[in-house]
Amino acid sequence: MTTKKSPLGKLISDRTNKISPSGIRKFFDLLQGMEGVISLGVGEPDYATPWHISEAAVKSLEKGYTIYTSNSGILELRELTCQYLKDKYGINYKPADEILITVGVSEALDLAMRAILNPADEVIMTDPHYVAYDATVILAGGKPVMVPTSAKNNFAVEAKDIEAKITKKTKAILIGFPSNPTGAIMPRQKLLDLAAVAKKNNIIVISDEIYARLTYDGEHTCFASLPGVKNNTILLGGFSKAYAMTGWRVGYAVAPEEIITAMTKIHQYTIMCAPTPAQVAAIEALKTGETDVVEMVDDYNRRRKVIVKGLNDIGLPCFEPKGAFYAFPSIKPTGLTSEQFSEGLLKEEKVAVVPGSAFGKCGEGFVRCCYATSLADIEEALKRMARFVKKHKK
Amino acid sequence: MLKDILKILENNAHASEKQIATMVGVSAADVSKAIKQAEKDRVILKYKTVVNWDKADGDSHVWALIEVKVKPEPDSGFDAIAERVARFEQVRSLFLASGTFDLLLVVVDKTEHKVADFVSQNLAHIEGVQATVTHFVLKRYKDDGELLDGGEGVKRQQVVL
């Protein structure tokens, strides 16, 4: 490994040195080589991609469909995605120039930041937040600005708290609901308040809705569907979580034409296009994957209820997460820090969770438990955690 | 509520009333009541285990799919004959099907001889049975929705997200 002081380390850019490796990664290194660990760590569906979706890609390979697609992505996929957004949320985007198919939401997020940020421009985001949010802002030369959220408010964010952070340099607000790591959702009214603040101050809202389909209590509200916001919204979505397609790496950004044009410029020079077989699979997912989604969401919901009740029962207070597949219990009754709790739990009871502090300062005192794992594993993990909590309870 | 309970039980007969109650969001007493009623109504027939006998030492079984052509009876159609066939305990499943034959049987027994005896001595003699075609199963890949082999899933990799 190179360090800043080694000859090679000195050649690493300041910008890269400014971001630290993810706290999750550090934690997974501990896991290496341990046997019998139940992992509530990795945030990914425990399903394989529904076979008919995979088969569509296999067939396309057999036919020799192994060439580039257009930079924007296969037109049929752009059309189907726009149609999906229209059917689901009543919003209209033009397949020709208001959508870009990307290598997952990860790429879309990076493109969005690079397309809009000038040096020192500020992007307001919640604390805690998904690990890539602040890193992509910093890599694009911007400055992340945190708005604290708390369990008291079910980790939703208040428009007035965002407004208090707005300066002349504020370029965008980045939200991700349902949230990784908390599982929080944003009630429609709070999103309307936020929209009003963004509009008043002429700020772009980037809404990462990768977990939109994993919503358990009523329908998800798509930010872009709120009245009058389309012109300053970049909506990010993808196929990974809803269709269990994480490894395919395919997502999208929809936004007004000027923004998509700018993002596409970066995309064509750096990525060219999202992988062709993955785009073919995504087409199949949109055409025939709906029943799979409903079934998987039903199943996540059953496990969600088991883990939330279980965590509360063993003395780790957990608000009800209404989206994604994460529970975010408080570990304060143990008096341990998030890192101490997670490390201790792994070493003493062989259960892997992720310290909340990996997602920001306000994540301290919490751990992220992903319940996209078998019910039997969830129940065994809860038993082991109960033992651990009993032992360490103050 | 019953539909939710059945979905859970269909996939895991081991699920306890307490577990089901948490998942469905009702009391354990209500789950218990609903299950008892479903058993009474024969909505729930039995709690079974999907066994891969090929892997259980010294207890192999022979499987056969048997097509049966039947002359339906004037009053009861196929039902009376089907009910007679179904009484044999080696008949694991029995369906009335459209197409070139009428009944499809899944027969499981200890040896090929025993299956042959069943066909020649029992099945063929039932009145109304006109012809049979027996297919011995060479390998079972998937049964009751479960893959018999290769059940080991892909192992998750470590990734930052």
Output the DSSP codes for A77-101. HHHHHHHHHHHHH-----TTTSEEE
Instruction: Please report residues of A whose CB lies closer than 8 A to that of B19.
Output: 306, 375, 379
What domains does chain A contain, in order, with CATH numbers? Answer: 9-49+292-392 (3.90.1150.10), 52-289 (3.40.640.10)
Strand residue runs (E) in chain A: 38-39, 99-102, 122-127, 143-148, 170-175, 204-208, 233-238, 251-254, 326-327, 351-352, 354-355, 367-370
B36 and B61 both lie in a single domain: no
Say if residue B70 is in the same domain as residue B31: no
Q: What is the pLDDT of residue A4?
A: 55
B158 → chain A, closest CA residue: A28
Record: contact B154-A48, CB cut-off 8 A: yes
Which residue range forms the structural domain that includes residue B95? 53-140
pLDDT tens per residue, chain A (394 residues)? 445 568 888 899 998 988 887 767 767 777 777 889 999 988 889 999 999 999 999 999 999 999 999 999 999 999 999 999 999 999 999 999 999 999 999 999 999 999 999 999 999 999 999 999 999 999 999 999 999 999 999 999 999 999 999 999 999 999 999 999 999 999 999 999 999 999 999 999 999 999 999 999 889 999 999 999 999 999 999 999 999 999 999 999 999 999 999 999 999 999 999 999 999 999 999 999 999 999 999 999 999 999 999 999 999 999 999 999 999 999 999 999 999 999 999 999 999 999 999 999 999 999 999 999 999 999 999 999 999 999 998 7
Q: Are residues B57 and B133 in the same domain?
A: yes
Tell me: do B28 and B63 sit in the same domain.
Answer: no
> Does B102 reside within a domain?
yes
Contact B159 A306 (CB under 8 A): no
Chain A residues whose CB is inside 8 A of the B5 CB are: none
Question: Which residues of A sit within 8 Å Cβ distance of B?
Answer: 22, 24-25, 28, 31, 39, 42-44, 48, 130-132, 180, 298, 302-303, 305-306, 309, 375, 379
Residue A274 CB contacts under 8 Å (≥ 6 apart), including other chains: A69, A73, A101, A102, A103, A107, A249, A250, A251
Least CB–CB distance from B8: residue in A131, A132, A302:
A302
Does residue B65 share a domain with residue B29?
no
Cβ atoms within 10 A of the Cβ of A38, count?
Answer: 22
Whether residue B120 is found in the same domain as residue B61: yes
ipTM of the complex: 0.71
Q: Compare CB distances from A131 to B8, B23, B160 and report the shortest one's residue.
A: B160
Residue B65 lies in a domain: yes
Does residue B6 belong to any structural domain of this protein? yes
Q: How far is CA B134 from CA A359, B80, B87, B93, B117, in A?
A: 63, 22, 19, 14, 12
With contact defined as beta carbons under 8 Å apart, do A162 and A124 qualify?
Answer: yes
**Least Cα separation, residue A94 to chain B (angstroms):** 31
- Residue B89 exposed, middle or buried by CB count within 10 Å (0-12, 13-18, 19+): exposed
Asked if the structure places residue B153 within a domain, the reply is: no
Determine the pLDDT at residue A2: 46
Bridge partner list, A327:
A369
User: Is-contact A133 A167, C-beta < 8 A?
Assistant: no
Q: With an 8 Å Cβ cutoff, are B23 and A305 in contact?
A: yes
Q: What is the DSSP letter of B155?
A: P
Tell me the chain B residues in contact with residue A300 when contact means C-beta distances shorter than 8 Å: none
Specify whether B30 is located in the same domain as B80.
Answer: no
The overall average pLDDT reported for chain B is 91
pLDDT digits (tens, 9 = 90+) for A195-208: 999 999 999 999 99
Option in B12, B22, B160 nearest A24 (CB): B160
Residues B22 and B57 in one domain: no
> Do residues B109 and B71 share a domain?
yes
For β-strands A233-238 and A204-208, DSSP reports them as parallel
Please name which of A385, A344, A43, A378 lies closest in space to residue B158, comparing C-alpha atoms.
A43
Indicate the number of domains in chain B.
Answer: 2
